[in-house]
Amino acid sequence: MTSPSLTDDSNSPNPLREGLRIRPVPDPAIVVIFGATGDLAARKLLPALQALAAGNFLPPAFAVLGYGRRDKDDNAFRDDVRKALEEHGQNGDSATTEGFLSQVYYQRGNLDNAADFEALGKRLKKIAAERNIAPNVLFYLSTPPEHFEPVIRNLGHTGLNQPENGWARVVIEKPFGRDLDSAHELNAVVAEHFGEEQVFRIDHYLGKENVQNILVFRYANAIFEPIWNRRYVDNVQITVAESLGMEGRGDFFDKAGVARDIMQNHLLQLLCLTAMEPPVALAGDAVRDEKVKVVRSLCRIEADDVAAQTSRGQYTSGDLNGKSVPGYLQEEEVPADSTTETYAAARVFIDNWRWSGVPFYLRAGKRMPHKITEIAIEFRQAPMHLFEETRGEEARPNALIMNIQPDEGMAVRFYSKVPGTQMRVRPVVMDFRYGSSFGVEPPDAYERLLLDALLGDSTLFTRADEVEEAWRFFTPILEAWEAAGKDGMHNYEAGTWGPDDAQRLTDQDDKQWRRL
């Protein structure tokens, strides 16, 4: 039996990549990448745009303009892009790659110089005229966060934020602020020059296939939504673990820490999608309205409660995948007396009807045994007195595990009888993986998010009020940690699952962290 097609375009080179052909093609446009010679552009943005072009998801009238301080011309930048695609790209033969490169340009300039932005405007008009592109521009801020404000202001002062007879949109990378006050100030600057409908605050986790699948899983399957509440759910555990250390990012990370780098954005987004109420539509503000309600419903952890409801630590030297790795304080560009956390965990509650009394355990860390992001829903234990003598020592509750990365999929843990003449009970797992079920690996998150931004679909991007509410929750925690300094900092060996101190968070409810 032939499987049904997931696309209406038989000419697409990879018809299972999201079924994007059923969506409208974006308007002719130019994508301007500020920080085009940086790591993010090389590893993610340019390969994602090339993949979209190779899949015929972009209009024929399309161009990419890299903007940076390095002294290059179009040909030199195209050589750099070609190397980036060879190393990080996945789609397209040499002909499609060369076709994409012919649409790539470079503009030298500084991010804080208004005259350079005037020159950028002239270059955009020239490219638009040469390629017959309407005056539609997507500005992507792939820069360090300290450059966000000057770029936004220069776009506004030169009129590039409001082109005639076209549209302008701006994509802003994380981190969006480092606390509530800075996020509020940045939002004010953005709002001064762009309407909210023009602004796309990106969190690449929202572009991951299984993150989007949370909504489909919950609202398209009648067997799960009725039990998605405090009556049946015992606890929720959300984990974002990375095996990497600093990898040359010591200076940046030490100014942020794992809470700012992961918990305030990636992890909180996973919590919102897991806990939100059904939206009136799977689009735009309908989804974002429900996410904001979740963040506003979080029980605030005030300064006096931070020590009891959170745990933090730093990794020390250890063995990981058979190799000896240095401790955090021995990493390059990390101060020897740093009190920045590389592991953070929190016990939080959502004060609404659906989740009242259900603990949400959140944890994120660097130098874990392996990379994994998952959401685990553990259900209340069924009365097991009939099987007390036959189920063995493994008495974990039923659970639904949503694997976000690296193996995107889902698994359900339940009890089953062991084959044989005796009544013996054992937990078993039924799982689903995207690669094996659909025959292809999911597309990179940036492909989906860039296409959405070009289409003007803001569903998978964070809104101004959501960003500020997230910081309103995390800022008191961060301030308490900074005030405590080394007090309350717990070491853990690289290659382990974090400090022993984190166990007390689940001990308060007589629970335990999942073994990953």
How far apart, in whole angstroms, are the C-alpha atoms of residue 458 and residue 448?
A: 12
Are 163 and 307 found together in one domain?
A: no
Q: What is the per-residue pLDDT for 424?
A: 77
Q: What is the CATH number of the domain that holds 75?
A: 3.40.50.720
How far apart, in whole angstroms, are the C-alpha atoms of residue 451 and residue 20?
A: 9
Tens digit of each residue's pLDDT (9 = 90 or more) over 46-81? 999 999 998 889 998 999 999 999 999 999 999 999
Are 93 and 147 found together in one domain?
A: yes
Expressed as residue numbers, the domain containing 317 is 206-507
How far apart, in whole angstroms, are the C-alpha atoms of residue 52 and residue 454?
A: 11
Q: What is the CATH number of the domain that holds 328?
A: 3.30.360.10
Residue 43, pLDDT > 70, answer yes
**DSSP characters over 431-493:** EEEHHHHHSSPPPPHHHHHHHHHHHT--TTSB-HHHHHHHHHHHHHHHHHHHHHTTTTEEEEE
Residue 15, pLDDT > 90, answer no
Residue 483, pLDDT > 90, answer yes
Q: What is the per-residue pLDDT for 92?
A: 58
DSSP state of 515: P
Q: Which structure tokens are listed for 181? A: 């006050």
Contact call for residues 120 and 159 (beta carbons, < 8 A): no
The residue among 474, 453, 455, 33 whose CA lies nearest residue 201 is 453
Contact call for residues 160 and 168 (beta carbons, < 8 A): yes
Mean pLDDT of 430-451: 81
Residue 8 lies in a domain: no
Are 321 and 421 found together in one domain?
A: yes
Tens digit of each residue's pLDDT (9 = 90 or more) over 338-393? 999 999 999 999 999 999 999 999 999 999 999 999 999 999 987 766 666 555 54
How far apart, in whole angstroms, are the C-alpha atoms of residue 155 and residue 199?
A: 13
Residue 514 lies in a domain: no
Are 161 and 210 found together in one domain?
A: no
- Catalytic positions, written as ranges: 266
Q: What is the per-residue pLDDT for 23?
A: 65
Are 164 and 248 found together in one domain?
A: no
Residue 358 lies in a domain: yes
Of 150, 173, 196, the position where a domain reaches its end is 173
Are 153 and 211 found together in one domain?
A: no
Are 155 and 269 found together in one domain?
A: no
With vertex at residue 217, the alpha carbon angle to CA 212 and CA 223, rounded to the nearest 5 degrees, is 170
Residue 189 lies in a domain: no
Amino acid at 370: H
Residue 134 lies in a domain: yes
Of 158, 173, 188, the position where a domain reaches its end is 173
Are 148 and 228 found together in one domain?
A: no
How far apart, in whole angstroms, are the C-alpha atoms of residue 268 and residue 259?
A: 10
| Beta strands in 254-366, from DSSP E residues, in sequence order | 310-316, 318-320, 323-325, 343-348, 360-365
Residue 14, pLDDT > 70, answer no
Per the prediction, the chain carries an average pLDDT of 89
The residue among 396, 425, 429, 397 whose CA lies nearest residue 413 is 429
Tens digit of each residue's pLDDT (9 = 90 or more) over 130-151? 998 988 999 999 998 999 999 9
Contact call for residues 279 and 458 (beta carbons, < 8 A): no
Contact call for residues 4 and 19 (beta carbons, < 8 A): no
Residue 19, pLDDT > 50, answer no
* First-to-last C-alpha distance (Å) of the chain: 37
Q: What is the per-residue pLDDT for 2?
A: 37
Residue 8, pLDDT > 50, answer no
Tens digit of each residue's pLDDT (9 = 90 or more) over 289-307? 999 999 999 999 999 999 9
Query: With helix as H, strand as E and coil as C, how does 97-142 read?
Result: HHHHHCCEEEEECCCCCHHHHHHHHHHHHHHHHHHCCCCCEEEEEC
Task: Measure Cα distances from 281 to 215, 426, 459 in Å.
Answer: 11, 41, 10
> Where do runs of H (alpha helix) occur along 353-394?
none
Which stretch of DSSP H or E encloses residue 428?
strand 425-433
Tens digit of each residue's pLDDT (9 = 90 or more) over 90-125? 665 677 888 899 999 999 999 999 999 999 999 999
Are 133 and 215 found together in one domain?
A: no
How far apart, in whole angstroms, are the C-alpha atoms of residue 346 and residue 334?
A: 25
Are 328 and 450 found together in one domain?
A: yes
The residue among 428, 380, 432, 438 whose CA lies nearest residue 402 is 432
Q: Which structure tokens are listed for 254? A: 């030490």
Report the number of distinct structural domains present in the chain.
2
How far apart, in whole angstroms, are the C-alpha atoms of residue 382 and residue 362?
A: 25
How far apart, in whole angstroms, are the C-alpha atoms of residue 263 and residue 239?
A: 10
Are 161 and 217 found together in one domain?
A: no
210: number of Cβ within 10 Å: 22
Are 272 and 140 found together in one domain?
A: no
Residue 512 lies in a domain: no
Residue 401 lies in a domain: yes
Residue 462 lies in a domain: yes
